[in-house]
Amino acid sequence: MTQITAETVELLDQNDELASFKNEFYVKNDSIYLDGNSLGLLSRRAEQSLLDVLNDWKEQGIDGWMGGKYPWFTLSEQLAEKLAVLVGAEANEVIVTGSTTVNLHQLAATFFEPKPGKTKILADELTFPSDIYALQSQLKLKGLNPETELVQVKSKNWMTLDEQDIIDAMTDDVALIVLPSVLYRSGQLLDMERLTKEAHKRNIPIGFDLCHSIGAVPHELSKWGVDFALWCNYKYVNAGPGGVGGIYVNKKHFTKTPGLSGWFGSKKESQFDMDHTFDAEESAGGFQIGTPHMLSTAPLIGSLSIFEEAKIERIRSKSLKLTTLLMDLLDQELKDVFKVVNPLDDARRGGHVALMHNDAARICKALKDNGIVPDFRAPNVIRLAPVALYNSFRDVYDAVHILAKIMNTREYEKYENKREVIA
């Protein structure tokens, strides 16, 4: 491999067509932020759109629902049009609403329809815990035992999944499949198109948790025929801590009655008739439950305007170049020190690089004290996510050299090898 130098990365930065977007974000001069797969940075546009909505509340009061700069009553639908581009869907197949877990409860309650001989939910043992908690709850609500009815595909290495193992688990007794698009620890990107096709061969509805892919990876949910999807918007989409999430429902399911009905899923023209007969919107909007959280939705206005300009295809291209550079530098500067556990193939990798080391927790603490913000996942994984919109190639170069200094001097040994309350 050709030696990677400071001049190498300087040339990459000079030819980076997304470089100017870094100026849109509040990036600290003395820090390199590589944790955008947990919480994206604040952009100036997101800050301004939040201030705009606050001002409408201040100036308009109740009239902000239909007036002001961004009328609240239809804001979720308007933002859904922009989010639809990121997931490859028609505008009415997407809605901005809820949180990841609430949205999974809604979709599982809707699509999990057990009947004799077909009572199981298929998931995997590497998915984010909250998804498993929700699926266990849904089984209990149907009077089923999660210990027998929740099938979790095993991993051969506790880091990645074999897609053939998932397909082999799509047996006749499975009534619903819920999988992550990208595994949160290892960054493995599943082939959603293939898995959807195999599920539908067996007449099983399938949905995906896109939390670790949306904003970093293009999707074609409608083209692939995915039944439903859910996600948060506070990682790569940069909508702020606890920012309102999103739902995708394939239009072929618009006539399904939402499993959890609420008044904001009503048809807009009749919602304020206050009738006790629920008349759902025949769109993803029908799967809303309660009143939208406007102050948690507002930053998404500014954030999505950046995605409109940057384009998700260009973001993905730069993201892959950044993670490839990161892996190449690790090989150059720290060969055999870390085990890279994310897929090396571009087509199978999400937006972050995952490193395994027995001292991962204390290494992360040392990185933070040296101005690098990583992410730790128990028991021994360091996640590094160079985000295309606000990280440069020089950021990656400097971060690896600082990591090399920490490892070569064994500086990390002065820290306790134990995670903080929040990793």
Say whether pLDDT at 422 is over 80.
Answer: no
- Is 119 assigned to a binding site? no
CATH of domain 49-309: 3.40.640.10
In percent, the amount of the chain with pLDDT more than 90 equals: 97
pLDDT of residue 283: 97
Query: Is 5 annotated as a binding-site member?
Result: no
CA nearest to 245, candidates 234, 258, 260: 234
| Residues of each domain in the chain carrying CATH 3.40.640.10 | 49-309
> Is 101 among the annotated ligand-binding positions?
yes
Distance CA 153, CA 226 (A): 20
110 annotated binding-site participant: no
User: Is 131 labelled a binding residue?
Assistant: yes
pLDDT of residue 423 exceeding 80: no
291 assigned ligand-binding residue: yes
52 appears as a binding residue in the annotation: no
Segment 23-43, tens digit of pLDDT: 999 999 999 999 999 999 999
pLDDT for position 220: 98
Residue from 262, 272, 238 nearest 65 by CA = 272
Name residues whose C-beta falls within 8 Å of residue 139's C-beta, 6 or more positions apart in sequence. 121, 145, 146, 149, 150
pLDDT tens digits for 57-115? 999 999 999 999 999 999 999 999 999 999 999 999 999 999 999 999 999 999 999 99
Residues 189-224 pLDDT 10s: 999 999 999 999 999 999 999 999 999 999 999 999
- 291-309 mean pLDDT: 98
Mean of the pLDDT values across residues 240-259?
97
pLDDT score of 115: 97
Q: Are 166 and 136 in contact (CB under 8 A)?
A: no
> Is 379 assigned to a binding site?
no
Locate CATH 3.90.1150.10 in the chain: 6-30+311-414
Predicted pLDDT of residue 367: 98
Whether 418 has a pLDDT exceeding 80, the answer reads yes
pLDDT at 1: 72
By CB atoms closer than 10 A (0-12, 13-18, 19+), residue 23 is exposed
**pTM across the whole model:** 0.97
8 A C-beta contact, residue 367 and residue 402: yes
Q: DSSP readout, 338-397?
A: SEE-S-SSGGGB-S-EEEE-TTHHHHHHHHHHTTEE-EEETTTEEEEB--TTT--HHHHH
Please provide the average confidence, as pLDDT, over all residues in the chain.
Answer: 97
Q: Check the annotation: does 277 bind a ligand.
A: no
Q: What is the predicted pLDDT for the residue at 260?
A: 97
The mean per-residue pLDDT over the stretch 371-380 comes to 96
Is the pLDDT at 253 greater than 90? The verdict is yes
Cis peptide upstream of residue 379 (ω within 30 degrees of 0): yes
**Residue 212 is labelled as binding a ligand:** yes
| CATH 3.90.1150.10 for the 6-30+311-414 domain, yes or no | yes
- Of residues 367 and 423, more confidence is placed in 367
List the single range of 11-20, 134-143, 263-272, 351-360 with lowest mean pLDDT. 263-272
8 annotated as a binding-site residue? no
Question: What pLDDT is stored for residue 379 in this prediction?
Answer: 94
